[in-house]
Amino acid sequence: MSSGFSPTSDNGENNAGAGLYILLSFVIFAVIGAISCCFARKVRQGIVRELQTVVASATPNLTHSPNVVQIWEIDQPTMEKFIREMAEERPVRLTPQQLYCFTSNYSTPLGSGGFGSVYKGQFPNGVKIAVKVLKRNADRQAEEQFMAEVGTIGRTYHINLVRLYGFCYDQYMGALVFEYMENGSLDKYLFGKNQDIDWRKLHDVAIGTAKGLAYLHEECQQRIIHYDIKPANILLDANLSPKVGDFGLAKLCNRDITHMSLTGYRGTPGYSAPEFLFFNYPITHKCDVYSFGMVLFEIVGRKRNAGVTDSGNPDWLPQHVWDNYEKGKLEELTLMCGIEEDNKERANRMCEVALWCVQDSPDNRPPMSTVVRMLEGGVEIMPPPKPFLYLQSTAKRNAQQTSNSSDYSTSNEESGSVWYKDTPIMKKYEIQIASS
Ligand SMILES: Nc1ncnc2c1ncn2[C@@H]1O[C@H](COP(=O)(O)OP(=O)(O)O)[C@@H](O)[C@H]1O
Ligand SMILES: [Mg+2]
């Protein structure tokens, strides 16, 4: 029975129609796509031409250079990598979970100080790190230390300052991630059992530390005062090169502000400048110079400055150094400290520089760049005035202070002529040549 209804042939026609429709749509899209591509290329070429014209007019000496955009396209990956690396140079924020992994659950302690414990760790790329976990309590000291360290060392880059790679801060923990210093801190070598470092190297450590401090005081955009210079805060890398660490008490200050208004004592007894105790001078960056001088005495003596003699009397090396210097017997003292003949001259120089650094009046202390020059030699160090008058009775102290201050002003700070004579002193072999 024919109903006139033929589903098969009807379907065939429909399919053919649909196929034609799809084909047509495809062709139309392809044509539109091709036109768009041509148009986009034309627009791009137009932009490139315009860019070339702008670049050429902005940089006239490049007018005849090859296609700037081509160069840009070739250099782009390298430049992007460079820019990425530059961004990575800045300290990064890390999570407590990451630090937990990097330190293998804080399994290797490196040391501890007043503000926290330091643990060894490693980034996934193999770079070794030291993670300082800050002690948190109600007095907000950890927060202050966190801000002090990130705000100061996080902004600087110098071969003699420890690098801050990153930090972690959340409701549970505050931590700082530093480059790992293979040989720990200088105190270990000066006062510990392992004194396996020759004195010449210690002399280099002193110069490197002085350079780091000169950078903080004189070269940073904003002056940084460390306030806690001592052997425990001078770190040594695999080659025993020094880097100043522990910026927990450090402060940024404006160069034109001559002194800081501090509300309390800062530093470590034995290293901190007398102005902290006697309030007789303003607190300036020269308090770091004083502490550095104390470190120099400890390097000469290879022992802590303060001690007790066998008979129970107090024994303070800085005073012995002055007494011997005054009598012209510095060599006897350095010999007593076990410094060998070939380092005698360097040790004498170090004693004189130390005596300048610990002057009672901050103005009398040389700036750190001058300290570097004096330690390096090649200049004749002027005789330092008597230090430690603050330990004497107040009346006598005042009288002597007045006379000292008038003799030594800071007006010559730039030239350094207060502290040394610029005529280079002849070295030993030059004297031999001259006299032969
Ligand atoms: N980057 C480091 N690499 C190796 N050891 C370190 C590093 N930082 C600190 N230490 C060790 O931890 C000790 C305490 O660190 P420090 O930063 O001075 O902390 P605090 O603020 O508690 O005094 C140092 O004296 C040193 O022995
Ligand atoms: Mg410390």
CATH of the domain at 265: 1.10.510.10
Tell me, yes or no, whether 361 and 237 share the same domain. Answer: yes
Would you state the pLDDT for residue 393? 57
Tell me, yes or no, whether 430 and 343 share the same domain. Answer: yes
Would you state the pLDDT for residue 164? 95
Tell me, yes or no, whether 269 and 381 share the same domain. Answer: yes
Assign residue 158 the CATH number of its domain.
3.30.200.20
Would you state the pLDDT for residue 406? 40
State how far the alpha carbon of 307 is from the alpha carbons of 187, 314, 317, 318, 401, in Å: 15, 6, 8, 11, 27
Tell me, yes or no, whether 129 and 241 share the same domain. Answer: no
Tell me, yes or no, whether 163 and 198 share the same domain. Answer: no
Tell me, yes or no, whether 285 and 364 share the same domain. Answer: yes
In a domain, 57, yes or no: no
Would you state the pLDDT for residue 64? 52
Tell me, yes or no, whether 215 and 246 share the same domain. Answer: yes
In a domain, 316, yes or no: yes
Test site for ligand 1: of 152, 246, 268, 295, most ligand atoms within 8 A of the Cβ: 246
Would you state the pLDDT for residue 425? 55
Sign of CA dihedral 190, 195, 196, 199: positive
In a domain, 9, yes or no: no
Ligand 1, CB cutoff 6 Å, lining residues: 110-116, 118, 130, 132, 162, 178-181, 184-185, 232-233, 235, 245-246, 248
In a domain, 65, yes or no: no
- Kindly identify the ligand whose nearest atom is closest to the C-alpha of 249: 1
pLDDT in tens, the chain (436 residues): 333 333 344 555 666 777 777 788 878 878 887 877 677 777 777 776 776 666 566 555 555 556 767 777 787 788 777 776 666 678 999 999 999 999 999 999 999 877 789 999 999 999 999 999 998 877 778 888 899 889 898 888 999 999 999 999 988 889 999 999 999 999 999 998 877 899 999 999 999 999 999 999 999 988 999 999 999 999 999 999 999 999 988 887 766 655 555 667 788 999 999 998 887 788 899 999 999 999 999 999 999 998 877 777 788 999 999 999 999 999 999 999 999 999 999 999 999 999 999 999 999 999 999 999 999 998 999 999 999 998 875 545 554 554 444 444 444 566 667 899 876 555 555 545 555 5
Binding site membership for ATP: which residues?
132
Would you state the pLDDT for residue 36? 75
Q: Which of 159, 179, 199 is the last residue of a domain?
A: 179
Domain hosting 264: range is: 187-402+412-435
Given 228, 246, 360, 363, the catalytic residue: 228
Would you say the pTM of this structure is higher than 0.85? no
Q: Which of 123, 149, 179 is the last residue of a domain?
A: 179
Tell me, yes or no, whether 237 and 199 share the same domain. Answer: yes
Would you state the pLDDT for residue 66? 60
Strand partners, 177: 131, 166
- Given a contact cutoff of 8 angstroms between Cβ atoms, the answer to whether 242 and 208 are in contact is yes
User: Could you tell me the distance, in angstroms and rounded to a whole number, from the CA of residue 43 to the centre of ligand 2?
Assistant: 62
Q: Tally the domains of the chain.
A: 2
Would you state the pLDDT for residue 423? 62
- Give nearest CA residue, ligand 1 atom 16: 246
User: Could you tell me the distance, in angstroms and rounded to a whole number, from the CA of residue 17 to the centre of ligand 2?
Assistant: 85
Tell me, yes or no, whether 423 and 380 share the same domain. Answer: yes
- Give nearest CA residue, ligand 1 atom 19: 113
User: Could you tell me the distance, in angstroms and rounded to a whole number, from the CA of residue 117 to the centre of ligand 1?
Assistant: 8
DSSP 107: -
Tell me, yes or no, whether 196 and 149 share the same domain. Answer: no
Tell me, yes or no, whether 170 and 196 share the same domain. Answer: no
- Given a contact cutoff of 8 angstroms between Cβ atoms, the answer to whether 249 and 228 are in contact is yes
Would you state the pLDDT for residue 274? 92
Annotated catalytic residue 75: no
Q: Which of 137, 162, 179 is the last residue of a domain?
A: 179
- Given a contact cutoff of 8 angstroms between Cβ atoms, the answer to whether 236 and 189 are in contact is yes
| Ligand 1 nearest atom to the CA of residue 162, by list position | 1
Tell me, yes or no, whether 242 and 321 share the same domain. Answer: yes
